[in-house]
């Protein structure tokens, strides 16, 4: 008999959405999944990505999201997998250096966590895999990846997709990318 795993997903600026819940179900395959989001359980509905970004920036911010994620993660025990998207991935990056005991000792993944570019002085204390987008508007993805791959606990994977490709709410959603990563993640998170 296998023990159920605990899979934690740290959301992007959209928070907990039906699309994110669908993703959690797709990869968890019967395992327990918990979504950490920045809006204290309030289901947010944004008209577009820009309004979600503006709301998050004005009402939450990265540092407050880190505090909220710490609070929620500290209530959990035996976390097996942690996956963060966009700002959620940047939260993971910060926690991997400043509160590594709250994360998985084996599998932490940050998808298109663009704010890492402003926190390159942080050195992860647990393994973390960064899934990088093809490109970003505000910085050189390849240059950032080249720097981060030198950190002992960091693995970098490049994709041919854009920032937000897994989120159905994002302008850059890619069904092909979504399906590809669901197929790749499912055996990793359930093994």
Q: Note the pLDDT of residue 188.
A: 83
pLDDT digit string (tens) for 120-129?
999 999 999 9
Q: Where are the domains of the chain?
A: 6-190
Could you say which residues of the chain have pLDDT below 70? 1-3
Q: Note the pLDDT of residue 6.
A: 87
Ramachandran bin of 174, using left for φ above 0, alpha for ψ from -120 to 50, beta for the remaining angles? beta
Q: Note the pLDDT of residue 1.
A: 37
User: Torsion angle, CA of 168/170/171/173, rounded to 10 degrees?
Assistant: -40
- Distance (Å, rounded) from C-alpha 145 to C-alpha 123? 14
**Architecture category of domain 6-190 in CATH:** 3-Layer(aba) Sandwich (3.40)
Q: What is the largest CA-CA distance in the chain?
A: 48
Mean of the per-residue pLDDT values for the chain? 93
Q: Note the pLDDT of residue 77.
A: 82
Question: Which pTM was predicted?
Answer: 0.95
- Distance (Å, rounded) from C-alpha 41 to C-alpha 33? 15
Q: Note the pLDDT of residue 187.
A: 86
> 117, exposed or middle or buried, with CB in 10 Å at 0-12, 13-18, 19+?
middle
Where helices occur in the chain by DSSP H, the ranges are 18-28, 49-59, 62-74, 87-98, 141-148, 175-190
Q: Note the pLDDT of residue 131.
A: 98
pLDDT digit string (tens) for 73-111?
999 988 899 999 999 999 999 999 999 999 988 899 999
């Amino acid at each position: 008999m296998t023990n159920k795993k605990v899979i934690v997903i740290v959301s992007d600026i959209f928070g907990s959405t039906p699309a994110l819940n669908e993703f959690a179900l797709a990869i968890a395959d019967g395992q327990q999944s918990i979504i950490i989001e920045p809006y204290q359980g309030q289901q947010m509905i944004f008209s577009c990505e820009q309004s979600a970004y503006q709301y998050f920036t004005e009402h939450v911010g990265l540092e407050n999201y880190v505090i909220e994620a710490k609070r929620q993660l500290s209530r959990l025990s035996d976390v097996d997998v942690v996956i963060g998207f966009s700002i959620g991935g940047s939260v993971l990056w910060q926690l991997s250096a400043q509160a590594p005991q709250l994360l998985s000792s084996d599998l932490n993944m940050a998808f298109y966590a663009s704010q890492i570019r402003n926190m390159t002085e942080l050195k992860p204390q647990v393994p973390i895999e960064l899934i990088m987008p093809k490109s970003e508007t505000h910085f050189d993805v390849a240059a950032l990846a080249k720097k981060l791959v030198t950190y002992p606990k960091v693995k970098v994977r490049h994709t041919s997709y854009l920032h937000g490709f897994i989120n159905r709410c994002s302008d850059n959603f890619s069904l092909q990318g979504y399906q590809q990563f669901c197929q790749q993640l499912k055996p990793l998170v359930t093994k």
